[in-house]
Amino acid sequence: MRRGVAAGALGGALVLMTAACSGGSAGGGSTDATPVAAKSTAAAAPKPTVSAAVLSIEPKNGSQDVKPAGPVKVSVASGKLTTVKVTDKDGKEVPGSVAADGVSWVPKAGLSVGTRYRVSAQAADANGLVATAESSFTTLTPDEDAGPHDNISDGQTYGVGMIVSLTFDRTVKDKAAVEKGITFETSDGSVVKGHWFGGTRVDFRPEKFWTPGTKVTIHYRLKSVEVAPDVYGGVDADEPFVIGRSQVSTVDVAKHEMQVVKDGQVVDNIPITAGKPGFDSWNGTMVIKEMAERTRMSSQGVSGITKGDEYDLDDVPHAMRLTDSGTYVHGNSWATGAMGSYNASHGCIGVEDARYGSNSSDAGKLYNSSLIGDVVTVVNSKGPKVEAWNGLSGWNVNWGEW
């Protein structure tokens, strides 16, 4: 600024001098002199040293019990964001993106519960001057979770009809958030989708039966998902399982016969007895969901039971459960004359067996060749079609509806 003032003074002196030196020649003639114009030498404006960009970070510094879903927002006025970094206590960075206009940033996913985060942001104004801001906050630790549990054991081998069934102890309100938090990794690229039965159960399956040998891993990322107001999913885990060989059995109630097809080849035709009139077996595709070498079966709770028709059997052998309502394929030693001849059960599929079970019986051989997840389809029964929620019977729902 001092140099500018000096230059202005000098310019003024030059103008005055030119005006005073207008004179004639020695010969007495006169010569007209062209005056020199004055130069503007106003002082230059000072350059700013502080950025005009104003950063704003939410949540505010020191915030506690922050909900993990979309809490972080970074914005700037009078500038453009250049850097935004959000990290947890271990230095793991939260992915996010700056908006196209450069004035805001949001994370690409929710944060984790019970975690401290640090936010560092920078922005530049029109002159390139940079402003910085930092903040830290802690997300809430849930008081309760929804208690999710499924029917999968790590590393287990299942049949080609296996359906993954996930049940919650609390009603789920945000079903879309739950579905987003569950992904399936399949070795053959099979697409797996979920279908809800009420507010506490969601089942998952591919469009068609699994391909034998497929390796599957379920990725649960629900711990930080708010499934209902103030209730969180409660689990972050990976569960691998494998699909074994294919075994699909068809029970023809009219013929009193079960045909067993393994890997595309018929391996057995087994005489059976199915549900008698009034206790007709379900039609439709079912899946073996539980297996027990011996189990107890009772008529208690079975509708339609009349006096004298009650039963309570505590040692039913080779029992393979198909439905929640109590349909089994099981060994039968008390009605062996019915096998292949007539229907005598209360809805189950009976297969000839010894009193306490024999590995060499039809029931024993079928049991020992079976897996949880194997398919059993019942046809030609006078009973109704099994509901999709009853056991793992979701294969009775077409893919478009599923």
What is d(CA 384, CA 327) in angstroms, rounded to the nearest whole number? 13
Instruction: Give the distance from CA 337 to its chain's centroid.
Output: 51
What is d(CA 4, CA 230) in angstroms, rounded to the nearest whole number? 67
Query: Which H or E run includes 367?
Result: helix 362-368
130-139 vs 63-66, strand pairing mode: parallel
Give CA separation, 174 vs 65, 72, 225, 394, in Å.
21, 21, 9, 22
Closest CA to 229 of 170, 180, 176, 148: 170
Strand, coil or helix: 175: helix
CB 233, CB 148: distance < 8 Å: yes
Tokens of 366: 């079928």
What is d(CA 355, CA 256) in angstroms, rounded to the nearest whole number? 21
Closest CA to 124 of 24, 224, 50: 50
Residue 13, phi then psi, degrees to nearest 5: -65, -40
Active site residues: 330, 348
